[in-house]
Chain A
Amino acid sequence: MRKDRFTFVVTILVLIFFYLPIVVLVVNSFNASRFGSVWGGFSLKWYEKLFSDENIWDSIKNTLIVAGVSTSVSMVLGTLSGYALFKFKSGIQKVHNTLITLPLIIPDILMGMSLLLFFIALKIELSLFTVILGHITFCVSYVAVTVLARLQDFDFSVVEAAQDLGASPSLILRKIYIPLLSPGLISGGMLALTLSLDDFIITFFTAGPGSSTLPLQIYSMIKFGTPPVINALSTIFLLITFLIALIYQRINTKQ
């Protein structure tokens, strides 16, 4: 049993390693003192400062537009793509599969760089629109592999049984396909949404003036701004992510 104790200890240490910086950050956001190591009393002043910053509100608006549009478009493209990869086994699907898998592996900076040069070469002005194009491109792959995974686990004998029992195609769609495949669609969409909300590098390369998103705003605040305000912003971000994670977990464990 010595080996089991070793793996247990490493697991605990890794979890501490994962949560240490996050705890430090949250604690600091309520610290009245500017510097992390001295506790200057409990304070909400950094939160007040945060909510009165107009740049942040603008970037939140941009972030939501980008995430909303790119999630919807990539869900359509990704679902079609995942279905095609599942249904057909031709040579073209091998190419298709490679095209879907590569964006998952290549470093973000390459995708950002190539899209930037593509837009420059075509003389397309950088704007919120170019950011959205970039986000759709990486989100499609994530939706496609998620949908593909659900389809591979899907029991098609249920459909055959329904057909044998005389169900119409529209009834099969409503009673079988949609309820059984929608968790896959939803988790693919949630993945696309969180990735889009989180993306910094590809946005950094493809954003034009006035199309700053929240991650870009956070980056410039970290580089040039007031650190305690970022602590406050991060804590709010953490709260939202914990909530999304819990919802995601519930969807995933339900079925």
Chain B
Amino acid sequence: MKFKNANEIKISISSLIWLTLFFVIPTIIVVLISFRNSDPSGGIGVGWSIDGFADVFNPSFGMILWRTVRLSLITTVICLSLAMPVSIYMAKAEEKIQNWLLLLIAIPFWTNFLIRVYAWKIVLHPEGLVKRLFLTLGLVSENASLLYNEGAVLLVLVYTYLPFAILPLYTAIEKFDFRLIEAARDLGSGQIRSFIKVFLPGISQGIISAIMVVFIPALGSYVIPDMVGGPDGEMLGNKIAQRVFVDRNLPKGSGLSTLLILAVILPGLIRVVYKKIKPISATPLNRKINSYLTKSKSKS
């Protein structure tokens, strides 16, 4: 790789060095440390081993891993099915209403993430609003707990990631030409058929971004299962934190993180191979990420 001119070096060198130093190298270190022996005093030991991956073959861990993947998948499906009608409504609405809806969707997510999760703890609290409502309706028994189970984790995951699904979908649908659907209907295609054959392929880029920004962060959830999940709602993220902060076993924590790294890059790799190593054009992806970042904020 050669720099075409000195100007390019000058402009890009600072961020390239920063990201290499604080993003690439640390990621490589995680993978390396997962192959190191652990040190009983909590540091990194000498010598190499595959003990760091011992957790992966532990049956109780298998359950946590399966729960992590399952909850992330269900979250993605629910988020997309809720985001679809909302985005369609927004895209078809007048511009003024569109702007208001965008603001209304973005505002809760400008709030501190921990506070949002905590708010659900209050709502689902044994003496909270929802429990009392459900009790009067006879939906739950007196001893049933709405908190500290998989359902609570799923609910808060959907709450957290739904706006991230709405924004890329809305951006794609807004650009979609609805006359195509009318044309398909005129040509005799049914409502469902034109939705699947015309509408969904037309907004496929939006769907892919929505899946990416919900599924991948959900895989790495830590705070949500930690606060509303209890022992029955633990996910991979909790296990990583437990290995690092409670057991002080860095190689084991790294082993689990390496697993997560693989899970994150695997879909991308498959996509690259699937596209016959045709590089995914940089700008459209950037624009996608941008268009929803500038409309709302992200990250949680």
Interface residues on A, range: 35 or more
By the criterion CB–CB under 8 Å, are B33 and A92 in contact?
no
Query: Across the interface, do A241 and B105 meet the contact criterion of CB distance under 8 Å?
Result: no
Interface residues of B in 216-273 (CB under 8 A from A): 216-217, 219-223, 227, 237, 240-241, 244, 250, 253-254, 257, 260-261, 264
Residue-wise interface mask of A (88-122) relative to B, using a CB-CB cutoff of 8 A (1 in contact, 0 not):
10111111110111111111111101111110110
* Complex: A233 Cα to B226 Cα, angstroms: 21
Interface residues of B in 173-217 (CB under 8 A from A): 212-213, 216-217
In the complex, A198 Cα to B88 Cα: how many Å?
A: 30
Is B250 touching A120 in the complex (CB atoms < 8 A)?
yes
Tell whether B63 is near chain A: CB-to-CB under 8 Å: no
- Mark interface residues in B102-128 (1 if CB within 8 Å of A CB, else 0): 011111101111111011111101011
A145 interface neighbour in B19, B86, B286, Cβ under 8 Å:
B286
A19 to B129, CA, bound (A): 14
Q: Scoring A residues 126 to 147 as 1 if CB is less than 8 Å from chain B, else 0, what string do you get?
A: 0000000110111010101110
* Chain B residues, CB < 8 A from A140: 15, 18-19
Indicate if B70 sits at the interface (CB-CB under 8 A). no
Judge whether B92 and A4 touch: CB under 8 Å.
Answer: yes
The answer to whether B19 and A99 have CB atoms under 8 Å apart is yes
**Does B112 lie within 8 Å of A191, measured CB to CB?**
no
Judge if A55 is at the interface, Cβ distance under 8 Å: no
**Alpha-carbon distance A231/B163, docked complex (angstroms):** 24
Are A24 and B122 interface neighbours, CB within 8 A?
yes
Contacts of A20 in B (CB 8 A): 123
Asked if A10 meets B18 with Cβ closer than 8 Å, knowing A200-B113, A245-B103, the reply is no
Task: Kindly state the separation between the CA atoms of A101 and B279 in the bound complex, as whole angstroms.
Answer: 14
Choice from A96, A136, A187 contacting B294 with Cβ under 8 Å: A187
Q: Are B43 and A7 closer than 8 Å at their CB atoms?
A: no
Evaluate contact between B29 and A146: CB separation under 8 angstroms.
Answer: no
> Please, how many angstroms separate the alpha-carbon atoms of A13 and B202 in the complex?
26
Q: Does A8 contact B (CB under 8 A)?
A: yes
Interface residues of B toward A: which range? 35 or more
Residues of B within 8 Å of A87, CB to CB, are 8, 11
Q: A67 contacts the other chain (Cβ, under 8 Å)?
A: no
Does B89 lie within 8 Å of A11, measured CB to CB?
yes
The answer to whether B82 and A14 have CB atoms under 8 Å apart is: yes
B18 in contact with A136 (CB, 8 Å): yes
Instruction: Answer whether residue A84 sits at the interface, using C-beta atoms and an 8 A cutoff.
Output: yes
Question: Is the pair B129, A36 in contact by a Cβ cutoff of 8 Å?
Answer: yes
| A107-B219, A140-B18 given; A4·B290 CB < 8 A | no
A198 and B105 CA atoms in complex are apart in Å by 18
Alpha-carbon gap, A89 to B83, bound state (A): 35
Question: Is B299 interfacial (CB-CB < 8 Å)?
Answer: yes
Knowing A24-B122, A234-B115 touch, does A242 contact B107 (C-beta < 8 A)?
yes
| Distance A252 CA – B294 CA, assembled complex (angstroms) | 9
A194 to B113, CA, bound (A): 11
Of A45-53, A74-82, A159-167, A173-181, the stretch lying at the interface with chain B is A74-82
Query: Quick check: A146 and B3 within 8 Å, CB to CB?
Result: no
Chain A residue at minimum C-beta to C-beta distance from B251: A117
Note all chain A residues with C-beta closer than 8 A to B241.
Answer: 109
Contact B19 A137 (CB under 8 A): yes
A228-255 CB contact bits vs B (8 Å, 1 = yes)?
A: 0011011001100110110001001100
Is B146 on the interface with A (CB-CB < 8 A)? no
Whether A201 is near chain B, meaning CB under 8 Å from some CB there, is: yes
Asked whether B61 is an interface residue with its Cβ less than 8 Å from the other chain, the reply is no
The answer to whether A110 and B257 have CB atoms under 8 Å apart is yes
Is A215 engaged at the interface, CB distance under 8 Å to the other chain?
yes
| A117 adjacent to B250 (CB under 8 Å) | yes
Q: Are B299 and A198 within 8 A (Cβ)?
A: yes
With both chains docked as a complex, state the minimum distance between the C-beta of A101 and any C-beta of chain B, in angstroms.
7
Does A227 have its Cβ within 8 Å of any Cβ on chain B?
A: yes
- B287 touches which of A88, A118, A152, A200 (Cβ 8 Å): A152
Tell me if B169 counts as interface (CB < 8 A to partner A).
no
Question: A106 is contacted by which of B112, B220, B227, B286 (Cβ under 8 Å)?
Answer: B220
Contact between B14 and A245 (Cβ–Cβ < 8 Å)?
Answer: no
Q: Which 7 A-B pairs have the closest CB atoms?
A: A107-B220, A21-B119, A114-B26, A81-B15, A7-B89, A118-B26, A84-B12
- Between-chain CB contacts (< 8 Å), 15 pairs: A6-B85, A14-B162, A22-B119, A24-B129, A37-B127, A92-B12, A115-B22, A137-B18, A137-B22, A145-B289, A187-B294, A194-B110, A215-B114, A222-B121, A237-B115
